[in-house]
Amino acid sequence: MDLTKEPEQDDPLTLNAVGVFDPSGESLRMMAACFAEEYLRLGFPPGRVLALFESPRYPLANGALKTLGYPTILSIVANAARVWSPAHRSHG
Amino acid sequence: MPDVYNWQLGRPMAYPYEQAMPKRQWAFVMNINRCLGCQTCTMACKSTWTFERGQEHMWWANVETKPYGGYPYAWDVKLLELLDKANPGGMTWSESDSDERDSALRAAPYGTYDGKTIFEAADSRVTRPEHSQRVLGYLPADAEWATPNLHEDVPPAPAGEKGQWVRGGLSLPEHKAWFFYLARVCNHCSYPACLAACPRQAIYKRPEDGIVLIDQERCRGYRKCVEACPYKKAMYRPTTRTSEKCIACYPRVEGSDPETGGCPMETRCMAACIGQIRMQGLVQMEQDGTWTKDRQNPLYYLVHEAKVALPLYPQFGTEPNGFYIPPRWVPRGYLRQMFGPGVDHAIERYMVPERELLAVLQLFRKDNRIIFRYEIEEGPKVFETEIHGKPFTLYDDTVIAFDEHGSELFRTKVEEPLYERPPERLNSI
Ligand code: SF4
Ligand code: SF4
């Protein structure tokens, strides 16, 4: 089904659900890093944070995984876990 | 118009009334980095205050999906456009020439706003050339109140099927780029535009806590407040022909809710927050409009010491008392327009949090009672590392929260353990 349509002047919803241009993907990377850190700081273990990205029920996190690729998301979660997950800290 | 002092603009500002500050001011901090958009806050408010006839369109608390969402529709874009028309290219800031003294910082923490506020641009007549206004604003059309967060995260109807839901199991569109959830309530502004615009003087600001209320006996429903509030948080009720707005759950803030035995309590939207993004309290005010130094009040610390929490659209000039920790992934230009020039500092501090900030962030949503003061008991150093290229040391400190009378409310640690409910109690509260 085609979901595109021309904007109509009297349609107050015309701009909703529209993606924003982010050609470098930098915003998306930063958003994914923020998700990972915030959930880890709430006490989630890294495996469960990764599961959020893998689940299609969390469309934004899952969309980040699809766009950036699994290795990037894995390294984002691992990097955050290095600081915020007690079991994964590298001391020294 | 008399001049009042607006610390968020770092300068005096024209306002229709003389300066008069409450003893204490209701205020809140929301950490946007944590909001899930679950709308629990929205429903907590709706089910408490606006479930009656004539209030169907009223969402005193709402959460909108930025950049495109808004309730009422495009409220901020419209106001920014008006302000820019009245004062083309004027929404700029200069570095403050105040010295580094503490009082000067509290009086101008973000520098000085060069442009006009909605009070100063009121005579521009850009809204309706034939009418003058006390405050620059606009009255949203009825349709603009109709869709709080409807379609912001879900697909609109297919072409040619206006007003219809998409049927037949369609996958949701994926957001390809950034967005964030902006949770909003009335800011119980220090210089309320709603109050300034009311020809009946039906709106008042309580001297004990700065909560802004509409006297339902005096209101005649002229909707000047609806037109003037830049945040569009005053709303008209057709069944009573009066305007209504968020009342900051004042019975709770007064401590008259039986749950806390006389202790001031946070509002419904704050207490219900699943994402633990919200903290609300009362701050002490000076008569010059600045906040009294109250180093151990968590709101004072977040706004004036750590400077991680910033006012929403400070350039409007109402001195809102809602503050936000900005979302760190969002392009800075957009954020500077929304939260002023303090954005870069706030994000830097939040991303590499100092010892005290980490402890204070742990205070969010551990109790429904208002925290008036906190103390930190130093704990052991856990480890040192680098975050985002900067040195960072983690300490497992204990942070202790106190109520209005100095009694301990709770204590928690930076390395707070995770407790999970057993499966049979997953949904029990
Ligand atoms: S946010 Fe709007 S309604 Fe609330 S006090 Fe400020 S001007 Fe008035
Ligand atoms: S309850 Fe909290 S996390 Fe949920 S939408 Fe409201 S502010 Fe965001």
Neighbour count for residue B59 (Cβ, 10 Å): 25
pLDDT at A92: 45
The pLDDT confidence band at residue B65, using thresholds 50, 70 and 90, is confident
Does position B271 have pLDDT exceeding 80, yes or no? Answer: yes
Q: Does A57 touch chain B (CB under 8 A)?
A: no
**Residue B241 CA, ligand 1 centroid: distance in Å:** 19
Pick from B167, B329, B362 the residue to mutate for testing the A interface (most A CBs within 10 Å): B329
Domain boundaries, chain B: 3-159+178-293+313-356
Least-confidence region, from B21-30, B33-42, B314-323: B33-42
**CB atoms B176 and A90 under 8 Å:** no
Least-confidence region, from A65-69, B43-47, B163-167, B249-253: B163-167
Does position B166 have pLDDT exceeding 70, yes or no? Answer: no
Task: For ligand 2, atom 4, name the residue with the nearest CA.
Answer: B38
Q: What is the DSSP letter of B303?
A: I
Which of B117, B121, B157, B140 is CA-nearest to residue B70? B140
Q: Which of A3-17, B71-85, B158-172, B390-404 has maximum average pLDDT?
A: B390-404
Average pLDDT value for chain B: 91
Q: What angle do CA B190, B192, B196 make, to 5 degrees?
A: 130
pLDDT at A9: 47
pLDDT at A60: 75
Q: pLDDT > 70: what percent of chain B? A: 90
DSSP string, B148-213: TTSSSSSPPPPTT-TT-PPPS--PPPPP-S--EEEEE-----SS-HHHHH-TT--EEE-TTT--EE
CA distances from B186 to A6, B120, B353 (A): 35, 22, 29
In the chain, the amino acid numbered B126 is: V
The pLDDT confidence band at residue B56, using thresholds 50, 70 and 90, is very high
3-state SS assignment for residue B28: strand
Instruction: For residue B414, give how far its alpha carbon lies from the nearest alpha carbon of chain A (Å).
Output: 9
Which positions ≥6 away from B124 have C-beta within 8 Å?
B85, B86, B87, B136
Does position B171 have pLDDT exceeding 70, yes or no? Answer: no
The residue-averaged pLDDT of B143-150 equals: 78
The pLDDT confidence band at residue B385, using thresholds 50, 70 and 90, is very high
B150: exposed, middle or buried (Cβ count in 10 Å: 0-12, 13-18, 19+): middle
pLDDT at B151: 57
pLDDT at B188: 98
Pick from B30, B64, B68, B161 the residue to mutate for testing the A interface (most A CBs within 10 Å): B68
Neighbour count for residue B181 (Cβ, 10 Å): 23
The pLDDT confidence band at residue B147, using thresholds 50, 70 and 90, is confident
The pLDDT confidence band at residue B115, using thresholds 50, 70 and 90, is very high
The residue-averaged pLDDT of B21-31 equals: 97
The residue-averaged pLDDT of B377-381 equals: 97
Which of B61, B67, B27 is CA-nearest to residue B41? B61
Task: For ligand 2, atom 8, name the residue with the nearest CA.
Answer: B35
pLDDT at B144: 86
pTM to 2 decimal places: 0.92
Q: Does A5 touch chain B (CB under 8 A)?
A: yes
* Ligand whose nearest atom lies closest to the CA of B187: 1
- B333-354 tens-digit pLDDT: 999 999 999 999 999 999 999 9
The crossing angle, in degrees rounded to 10, of helices A59-68 and A46-54 is 90
The pLDDT confidence band at residue B257, using thresholds 50, 70 and 90, is confident
- A33-68 tens-digit pLDDT: 999 999 998 888 999 999 999 988 777 788 889 889
**Residue B324 CA, ligand 1 centroid: distance in Å:** 16
Does position B242 have pLDDT exceeding 90, yes or no? Answer: yes
pLDDT at A10: 56
Beta carbons of B114 and B90 less than 8 angstroms apart: yes
Task: Find residue B203's DSSP bridge partners.
Answer: B214
B423: exposed, middle or buried (Cβ count in 10 Å: 0-12, 13-18, 19+): exposed
Q: CA Rg, chain B, in Å?
A: 22
pLDDT at B55: 95
The residue-averaged pLDDT of B64-92 equals: 91
DSSP string, B37-90: ---HHHHHHHHHHS-STT-TT--SSEEEEETT--SSTTHHHHHHHHHHHHSTT-
Pick from B174, B348, B362, B387 the residue to mutate for testing the A interface (most A CBs within 10 Å): B174
The residue-averaged pLDDT of B294-310 equals: 97
Beta carbons of A62 and A56 less than 8 angstroms apart: yes
- B177-229 tens-digit pLDDT: 567 899 999 999 999 999 999 999 999 999 999 999 999 999 999 999 999 99
Instruction: Provide the pairing of β-strand B24-31 with B322-325.
Output: parallel
Beta carbons of B210 and B204 less than 8 angstroms apart: no
Residue of B34, B74, B177 with shortest CB distance to A22? B177
Beta carbons of B422 and B408 less than 8 angstroms apart: no
pLDDT at A24: 75
* Ligand whose nearest atom lies closest to the CA of B245: 1
Q: Which of B145-154, B160-169, B231-240, B281-290 has maximum average pLDDT?
A: B231-240
CA distances from B209 to B21, B192, B261, B319, B357 (A): 10, 14, 19, 15, 26
Contact residues, chain A, for B69 at CB < 8 Å: 16
Contact residues, chain B, for A20 at CB < 8 Å: 67, 176-179
Which of B238, B270, B55 is CA-nearest to residue B148? B55
Residue of A16, A17, A43 with shortest CB distance to B416? A43
Tokens of A80: 């955050």
Q: What is the DSSP letter of B247?
A: -
- Give me the count of residues in chain A: 92
B241 half-sphere exposure, CB direction, 13 A CA radius: 3
pLDDT at A73: 97
- Give CA–CA dist B109/B304, Å, rounded: 8
Tokens of B28: 């809140």
